[in-house]
């Protein structure tokens, strides 16, 4: 076990875990940040997507030790002072979620995409979002919402 001081959503959080504990476990089980979801646990579904230094990462595949020196952002931390981001507002406008389980990961990937490409094409969106699976097949609404967010 090791003590880690993590920078999560702008706050320091101290956890005592083994070095190879996946960040997803730390977020959900140690810190109660359950907005980040467990899907496959194998890096295949995208439900656990967070940002590490602004880059979308699969937290189920990220050992806590590898994330300890970076800035971690989860779905709980992207809205600032209670104001939804353009991506979150577009998700509401297009009524994107169905069951909702995958949607935190979808929003985190979409947010990272728009941070690096402010006017993505359909092909850009499909490429960036291809690792985020949705069993409810909300892909068309996700794409429309990303275009709406990009227009704002």
Least distance CB 25 / ligand FES (angstroms): 11
Q: Is the Cβ of residue 92 or residue 99 nearer to ligand FES in the bound state?
A: 99
Name the CA radius of gyration of the chain, rounded.
15
Whole-number Å distance between alpha carbons of 99 and 140: 15
- Residue 3's DSSP bridge partners are 16
Whole-number Å distance between alpha carbons of 81 and 99: 27
Residue from 2, 40, 53, 130 binding ligand FES (CB under 6 A) = 40
Task: Please tell me the total number of residues recorded for the chain in this structure.
Answer: 152
Q: Within 10 A of 124 (CB to CB), how many other CB atoms are there?
A: 15
77 binds ligand FES (CB under 6 A): no
43 binds ligand FES (CB under 6 A): yes
Tokens of 122: 């359909």
Q: Is the Cβ of residue 22 or residue 120 nearer to ligand FES in the bound state?
A: 22
Q: Which of residues 116-135 bind ligand FES (CB under 6 A)?
A: 134-135
Q: Which residues bind ligand FES (CB under 6 A)?
A: 38-41, 43-48, 58, 60, 97-103, 134-136, 138
């Amino acid at each position: 076990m090791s003590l880690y001081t993590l920078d999560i959503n702008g706050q320091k959080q101290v956890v005592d875990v083994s070095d190879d504990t996946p960040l997803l476990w730390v977020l959900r089980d140690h810190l109660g940040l359950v907005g980040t979801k467990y899907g496959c646990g194998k890096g295949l579904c995208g439900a656990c997507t967070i940002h590490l230094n602004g880059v979308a990462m699969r937290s189920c595949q990220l050992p806590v030790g590898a994330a300890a020196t970076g800035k971690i952002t989860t779905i709980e931390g992207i809205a600032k002072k209670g104001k939804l981001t353009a991506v979150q507002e577009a998700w509401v406008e297009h009524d994107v979620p169905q069951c909702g389980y995958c949607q935190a990961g979808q929003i985190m990937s979409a947010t990272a995409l728009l941070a690096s490409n402010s006017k993505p094409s359909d092909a850009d969106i499909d490429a960036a979002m291809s690792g985020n699976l949705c069993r409810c097949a909300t892909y068309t609404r996700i794409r429309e919402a990303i275009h709406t967010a990009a227009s704002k």
